Every structure is written in structure tokens, then in C-alpha cells.
Amino acid sequence: MGKFVVAGGRAGIGRALVERLTRSGHDVLVLGRTYPASLPPGCTFFEVDFRNPDAQLPVVNEPISGLAYLPGTIRLKPFRSLKAHDFLEDLQINVLGAIRLMQHLEANLKGVNGGASVVLFSTVAVHTGMPFHSSIALAKGAVEGLARSLAAEWAPSVRVNVIAPTLTNTDLAAGMLSNEQRKQAAIDRHPLKRILEPDEPASLAEWLLTGASQSVSGQVFSLDAGIGSLKTG
């Protein structure tokens, strides 16, 4: 069994991933902004706020089989309303926080026999132009470029992949799903007439983090219910 680090693992997709990994018998270090009400057996928690570029990171003295970074933002504004600090905050949480954590744990990841895995998260809005998404699309586009570069630089010892989901039923997206009318409108925009539940991207993340995906690196996986590539109307 391996040791995994899940940043942003206290809720949503991250929590679903933590539960999957612990059910499989792995040890998981969960990083998050506030301590959760409960954690599955086999977990430890370390409080980190990735909005703070100087936040203390945990000391890990053993090899790490996999790292998933899930802290993110959904900042939807007209371009004319966005200020420099909006872009900078999105970059800090989505990109710079991931960079800092990966640099901090690079030696741990490279210390695993058989290779380790990193999974980062993007959004369908990087490859499908959507109004009011300019700030988050900028930040997540940087995540995808970073992942491909690191996948080449760290091969063959560490694999790096990205999951780019569409709207997912999490607390982070609550404002977009605040009533049945909004939720149904979101569902109707997708060719498959559904949005994601947290366990769907979590199941893909688990596969990418574990040995079943040994030949996969430098890829961006779209989980988008068809909105990024299908036209049905």
C-alpha cells in the first residue's frame, strides 16, 4: 500500500478521492484550509491555506506514491469587471500553490520504487470558450502547460496528468446550483443531460494515481458530459 497526499481533500472531489484511497488500504495525508468534522480511517490532516504563498507545508519523511492537488476557484465575472488582484488570486490558488507543493515534495515523489504519480485539476473552460471564465481559464490553462512540461522533465520517475471536469455538484459550485431551476439549466447545457458528481472525477484520479495507469503521462482528461466536443442541437 502507498502513501498519498491529497491537497484540498476535506470536501467535494478531494474528499471522494480520499475515501477511495483509504478504502483501498492506502495512507493519506489530507491538506486543507480548515480541519474537517471527520476523516476516514487511515488519514492524517495538516492545515494549509494555499491562498497564502508563505503557508507552512508539512514535513514528510517518507516516499510518496502520489499527489493530487485540488484547491481551486470559480470566479465568474465579465472581463471588464476583473481586476488584477482577481487574476492574481486565481493564479495563486490554482497554479502557484500547486507549484510550491510539488517542489516541496519532489524528492518524496522521486523516492518511490516503480514511479509516482501527480494529478492536477483543470476545467473544461480551458478548451471550450465560455463567457465570464477568463480568469479561471487563464489559471487552469497554466496548470495544463505546467503539467505537460513536468511530465517530460520528471519522466520516467514521476507521471503527471490533468483532469478537466465540467460543472460538478460540490460546495464550490453551490452558487451555480443554488436552486432547481439553475441546476436544470446547467444539466440542459450538456449533451449528456447531466452534470458530474464528485465521485466521477475522483474515480479517474484514483486510477491515475495508482499502478493501473503506469503508461499514462502528460495527458489532459476531459470529463465534460459532452459539452466540450459534442453538438447535439
Distance CA 157, CA 105 (A): 13
The structural domains of the chain, with segments of one domain joined by +, span 3-223
Distance CA 16, CA 106 (A): 25
Beta partners for residue 28, in sequence order: 4, 43
The grid cell for 210 is 495508482
Output the pLDDT for position 171. 80
CA 45 vs CA 18, 146, 158, 194: distances in Å: 11, 27, 24, 33
Helices and strands (DSSP H and E) totals, the chain: 6, 7
CA Rg value for the chain? 17
Distance CA 117, CA 66 (A): 5
The arrangement of strands across the sheet holding 43-47 comes to 43-47, 27-32, 3-7, 66-69, 116-121, 158-165, 220-223
List, as one string, the DSSP characters of 129-142. Answer: --TT-HHHHHHHHH
Distance CA 229, CA 128 (A): 8
Output the pLDDT for position 37. 87
Query: What backbone torsions phi and psi does residue 88 show, to the nearest 5 degrees?
Result: -65, -40
Listed as ranges, residues in the chain with pLDDT below 50 are none
Distance CA 4, CA 183 (A): 34
Distance CA 221, CA 93 (A): 21
Question: In whole angstroms, what separates CA 104 from the centre of its chain?
Answer: 18
* Of residues 163, 166, 162, the one with CA closest to residue 194: 166
What's the CATH fold of domain 3-223? Rossmann fold (3.40.50)
